[in-house]
Structure 1
Amino acid sequence: MGKLSHFDEAGRSRMVDITAKDETKRVAIAQAKVRVSPKTMELIKGQEIEKGDVLEVARVAGIMGVKRTADLIPMCHPLLISGVDLKFNLIEEEAIIEILAVTKIAGKTGVEMEALTAVSVAGLTIYDMCKAVDKGIEIGDIKLLKKTGGKNGVYVDQDLIGEVVAFCSSLEKGTAKEQIAEANFKENYGLERDAHAGDWHRQISLLAIEDIDYMREQGLDLKLGAFGENIVTKGLKLTELPLGRKLKLGEEVILEVTQIGKECHNRCNIYHQVGDCIMPKRGIFAKVIQGGTVKAGAKLEVLLND
């Protein structure tokens, strides 16, 4: 790690001199998560909060926060911001509002602090808009997810990077799948020669090896694919991904998350064979946006559409 640049040789605080630095295109993406009560989530969705449209007010507040970052953070440079975008993803099962802010500039210093200020102010605004009905709202998980530009290049938060442990397929639904060394994905169809492929929203199923290992610790002798999953992942918190979030497998395959968990109406063969099925609670589903061929062990990355 380098030395802290906001102190000079004598230990005095300073604003870093960026006069000689080159101007480059810089982008920063930050996140915050706001946890509300289920009732508050329904009120926000239905725009039933008396103060107005909560998310639109929070969006404007976040943009205004970007413009005032240098007034709030002592050593930040006043910047000529070229673009700001705030998005809100409602994770209804967890009653969480995910805030994403994208800030852009063509300049000599980065816009990370502006993106972090945007999500922080937007989160505080959600609290202010809803505090009359929910004083227990929590604001957390504020962090930088990605930055590009400048001499240090690209930074990506490790929570966005995972790995494909295995691919699995079967010719019949409701049965355990068998591992395959290589998977061929077809756009808007799914995994070639798999029973779940087709023109619908659950073309691909994903389950984390961490959840499978938990079931193994309960004394179950499980092979990968035992729960009917097409892709076994490692390192990603699948159930925290919002609907619409995209995943990149290897160099070319792109999936879009379409469903988190599922309702199990009937006990399938998997349940009777294993004694439980974690797919309804811990699995997610996706459709293929861009096809291609991928081998097990490939990199798995969460895309933020920046």
Structure 2
Amino acid sequence: MEFTHFNEYGRAHMVEVGDKEDTKRTAVARGKIKMKIDTIQKIREGLIKKGDVLSVAQIGGIMGAKRTSELIPMCHSILLTGADIRFDIMDDCIEIEAETRTTGKTGVEMEALTAVSITCLTIYDMCKAIDKSMIISDIRLVKKTGGKSGVYMSKELKGKVLSINISNEKGVVKTPIKEGIFVEDFGLENDAHGGNWHRQVSLLGIESFEKMTKQGVKGLVPGIFAENITTEGIILYELPVGTKLVIGETIQEVTQIGKECHTGCEIAQKVGKCVMPKEGIFTKVIKGGLIKEGDIIEIIKCKK
């Protein structure tokens, strides 16, 4: 692979992207800021004199993403269609995740990385009066989609099984179970959706549940959308068909994203509307085995 930011004279230039096709592009970056336990506590309790640290840092990160081309030489100016910052407050650090989105000719990796960096720096600025020993570290790209190079996912990008769900009929809400045997080229043992076809196992992320909750839908619990596995931590519907996942003792391959919604099913009657047709995914079991609540979901091969 050649570097493209040099012209024929060996000097830096902005790469021409005018001939590239517009595609939907996303990027996710992560980083963290380590600090004293007492500083973390003051942030939790809202006792930092400058104000609400995470709210200000979130705004700072998004502003940083929007102005990336002014900060990074040779970086193209990009019209962002979306940007979000997420926080995970640990005992001695705050982990930051930034997601940026656009439809265009070049990617948004730099915008995501800049968003994480500015978010961390904003937290530092807000808290430096009581803790100058804070350390910003581990800023890295964990995912990108779109463009000629396709999908990139870091090996660290992992999810978790929140629930295994089963039913003996199709079109009904599934019942959570603590663990389940997934049979090669069949699916979940004794589940109505198992069989020798391409939609052996259905998965839906808790992130999709949260979207529905924000829209005012109440009473959402694992299995209510008839998914076999309720997950956390991976945006499932962004995985390309052909992606291979290690889930518990099993290996599964993504075969379909979304599905046709059938009217009159128990799910529609209970929930009113279903997120499964757009954001659920289906897999085929390549290697069978046991899956339990809390098992890790790991991407071992992401098809471009």
Q: TM-score range by the shorter chain?
A: 0.5 to 0.7
Contact 1:252 1:290 in 2 (8 A): no
1:152-301 equivalences under 5 Å are: 152-160=149-157, 185-186=164-165, 188-192=176-180, 245=233, 249=247, 250-251=251-252, 295=288, 300-301=297-298
Q: Which residue of 1 aligns with 2:15?
A: 16
DSSP-derived class of the 1:39 partner: helix
Give the aligned length.
195
- Whether 1:3 aligns to 2:2 is yes
Structure 1 residues 301 and 15 mapped into 2: Cα distance closer, same or farther (>3 Å)?
Answer: same
1:9-158 equivalences under 5 Å are: 9-92=8-91, 95-158=92-155
Structure 1 residues 252 and 20 mapped into 2: Cα distance closer, same or farther (>3 Å)?
Answer: closer
Structure 1 residues 161 and 52 mapped into 2: Cα distance closer, same or farther (>3 Å)?
Answer: closer
- RMSD of aligned alpha carbons: 3.3
Letter in 2 for 1:30: A
Structure 1 residues 51 and 31 mapped into 2: Cα distance closer, same or farther (>3 Å)?
Answer: same
Structure 1 residues 80 and 45 mapped into 2: Cα distance closer, same or farther (>3 Å)?
Answer: same
> What is the rounded CA distance, in whole Å, between the counterparts of 2:20 and 2:96 in structure 1?
31
> What is the rounded CA distance, in whole Å, between the counterparts of 1:91 and 1:296 in structure 2?
33
Q: Which residue of 2 aligns with 1:274?
A: none
TM-score, normalising length from structure 1?
Answer: 0.57
1:296 Cα deviation after fit: 5.0
- Aligned-pair identity in percent equals 47
1:89 Cα deviation after fit: 0.8
DSSP-derived class of the 1:188 partner: strand
> What is the rounded CA distance, in whole Å, between the counterparts of 1:113 and 1:192 in structure 2?
42
> What is the rounded CA distance, in whole Å, between the counterparts of 2:76 and 2:298 in structure 1?
32
> What is the rounded CA distance, in whole Å, between the counterparts of 2:38 and 2:98 in structure 1?
26
Contact 2:158 2:233 in 1 (8 A): no
Unaligned runs of 5+ in 1: 163-183, 194-243, 254-288
TM-score, normalising length from structure 2?
Answer: 0.58
Structure 1 residues 297 and 25 mapped into 2: Cα distance closer, same or farther (>3 Å)?
Answer: farther
Contact 1:185 1:291 in 2 (8 A): no
> What is the rounded CA distance, in whole Å, between the counterparts of 2:40 and 2:133 in structure 1?
13
